[in-house]
Structure 1
């Protein structure tokens, strides 16, 4: 029996883990222990995802949230290390690019437990993003790198991974697995009464929320779009809401609380366009055939730019307004199966089984 310790802590990781955990459950000879760091801890950001996605409650529940990046990562590292020592997994499985990702990978690597990284090889080439640091370091200490795209594989090859004792695999994107599996479970957010064709916005990246000028420019653009172009629906992360209030900015849009995955799927399906600074939401827009405008200076998902499905505008207010106005209502199609066609979880579990105990 192969024992996998899965480390999760943030909303996108819950969604990714749901499809991989389902594939693990349906496979003989492999056992999963799930550890939730607590990085997203309130009911709207965490519990609702477990309930909706059918993920078993974590075997290990930490309560680590808030504080600086270093403080959070350090506390996670210490507690995850104890969990690895206690449960003696054959492999640790981490997802994405959060502090939970890096802490899980570091704890395992220091105890000589092999690490598998789902969403390996992504690069924004912006070292000011904490996510970029997390993903680069996690890749460096993983021996099984599950890449979602050919671009991600190329990044690792350019960084010399072909000469390292690791395995790099293009398995597709587990987020597409989730989108396809859960599409029929979509639910409108409670009390939602905005007509279809609205602009669905998300805003949480530190590069925007921690830069007052960028945030003010984005807020002005959102307000203009809401008044002059189409209703803007913004599920607002608690941290971003606090930053906006602290800076004295006024958001004149349809503000709603963070939503569960099924509600987010519904919003994506009924939106006329997606405006975001999230990595995952850029892909989710694509999965549901919606044009996306991304309020960042770089993106890890360059194939969406190349395919004409996504447009980068940074935090420039006029560029945001122009791109949204130009793309609102435009449909996009996945003619090239850029993300694996919904089979990523099966490929990941098959490879975990073939690697066996201790990575061999």
Structure 2
């Protein structure tokens, strides 16, 4: 079976790594990188650390408006589908790369498999939510990480081709946790385990709104013990709005880090503040309390189990939550036990039988 896999952003590289290893045991995989994340810290380093094969194609799309980026990806992926003639196209998550891949395949009648199907934040203001919904409705195999995701699809009338697999990010995390412990990042930054908060801020809803960005940075600055690997878009917006110098004085801003370094920082933090879906989930699996800088989340299980708290971008709410929040329940294996990649490979294999 020939599978054309489309990735473009660092969360997709993480998810792709364990699945690609399983698929290549029995199938031919053609890996396409759209170029959505294109610099070394956001792309090449992840391929190296995770042992992902070099992409067969790199579309080199880069950053642009949603419409221009998605349109260029759509055209580029369609050309590759017509050239490679895959039996199946595989996409991950909820980025513009995900939607472009799914639409391109559906238009030329190539079956689509969607890893991380069924997630919903129920906030259509988020471009990721639009991408999720549209991708699910043109997919043939919907590979769900949780029971909640499966129920979301049932409510939308999607019942064919739906499978519960567990979450592939758990596979990746468990597979690299021991190696991450050897990372020298804490020593290099002069950090001690349990003595700092880790923050990430990258979503457009926060970075592209100067008032929200100022409120978040002000709150992180007030906490006084925050380390923040700075996403390129966040750094650009901080400089454009004149917030960078003040933020850099009050917050430990560092360049983006690789996957293993990020796992080391996450596992050793006493608290995480983030607007990233993947980091929310990693915090839960690692047992680190999480404050989410959004008003909604697709990972509702982390909130239901009291390990994650939604606070939005309000300055006082962030500070108050960071100083008072603590989990009240034991964590569960709601995201699976690290066997999702194999389950996905089996389901895809059965598709051709």
TM-score range, shorter chain: over 0.9
Counterpart of 1:246 in structure 2 is: 240
1:5 is matched with 4
**2:79 is the alignment partner of 1:85:** no
**Aligned pairs, number:** 345
Residues 141-192 of structure 1, C-alpha deviation per residue, up to 9 Å, x if partnerless?
A: 0010001111111110001113xxx311111100001110000111133832
CA offsets per residue over residues 247-298 of structure 1, 9 Å max, x none? 1112121111111000001001110011000001000001111010001010
- What is the CA-CA distance between 1:331 and the residue it aligns to? 9.2
After superposition, what is the alpha-carbon deviation per residue over 1:304-336, rounded to whole angstroms, capped at 9, x for unaligned?
1110110000111111111111237x69743x3
Contact in 2 for aligned 1:286/1:332 (Cα 8 Å)? no
Matched residues in 1 for 2:329 and 2:66: separation? 37
Q: Aligned pair in 2 of structure 1 residues 332, 9: CA closer, same or farther (>3 Å)?
A: farther
Distance in 2, Cα, partners of 1:11 & 1:131: 15
Structure 1 counterpart of 2:260: 262
Instruction: Indicate whether 1:59 and 2:56 are aligned.
Output: yes
Aligned Cα root-mean-square deviation (Å)? 1.3
Say if 1:97 and 1:177 are closer, same or farther in 2 by CA, change over 3 A. Answer: same
**Structure 1 stretches (4+) deviating beyond 4 angstroms?**
330-333
Aligned to 2:143: 146
Name the SS of the counterpart of 1:92 in structure 2. strand
Match of residue 175 from structure 1: 169
Q: How does 1:105-184 map to 2 (within 5 A)?
A: 105-162=102-159, 166-184=160-178
Unmatched segments (≥5 aa) in structure 1: none
Tell me which residue corresponds to 1:209. Answer: 207
Shift of residue 342, structure 1, vs aligned partner: 0.6
- CA separation in 2, counterparts of 1:51 and 1:332? 37
Alpha-carbon offset, residue 49 of structure 1: 0.3
Question: 1:279 and 1:8 mapped to 2: Cα distance?
Answer: 17
What SS does structure 2 have at the residue aligned with 1:161? coil
Which one of the candidate residues 268, 272, 275 is aligned to 1:274? Answer: 272
Distance in 1, matches of 2:350 and 2:15, equals 21
> Structure 2 unaligned runs (5+)?
none
What pairs up with 1:188-337 in 2 under 5 angstroms?
188-189=184-185, 191-197=188-194, 198-226=196-224, 231-249=225-243, 250-251=246-247, 252-327=250-325, 333-334=330-331, 336-337=332-333
Among residues 331, 340, 346, which one is paired with 1:344 in the alignment? 340
In 2, Cα distance between equivalents of 1:58 and 1:331: 44
Contact 1:290/1:331 (8 A) holds in 2: no
Please say which of residues 273-282 and 184-193 is displaced more in the overlay: 184-193
Distance 1:355 1:66 in 2: 35
Deviations 1:53-99 (A, max 9, x none): 00010011110011101000000000100100000000000000001
1:289–1:332 contact (8 Å) kept in structure 2: no
Greater mean deviation of Cα atoms: 180-189 or 6-15 = 180-189
Q: Distance in 2 between matches of 1:333 and 1:351?
A: 31
Contact 2:306 2:328 (C-alpha < 8 Å) held by counterparts: no
Aligned to 1:338, the other structure's residue is in SS state coil
The residue aligned with 1:24 is: 23
Contact 2:165 2:344 in 1 (8 A): yes
1:133 Cα offset (Å): 0.7
State the TM-score, normalized to the length of structure 1. 0.94
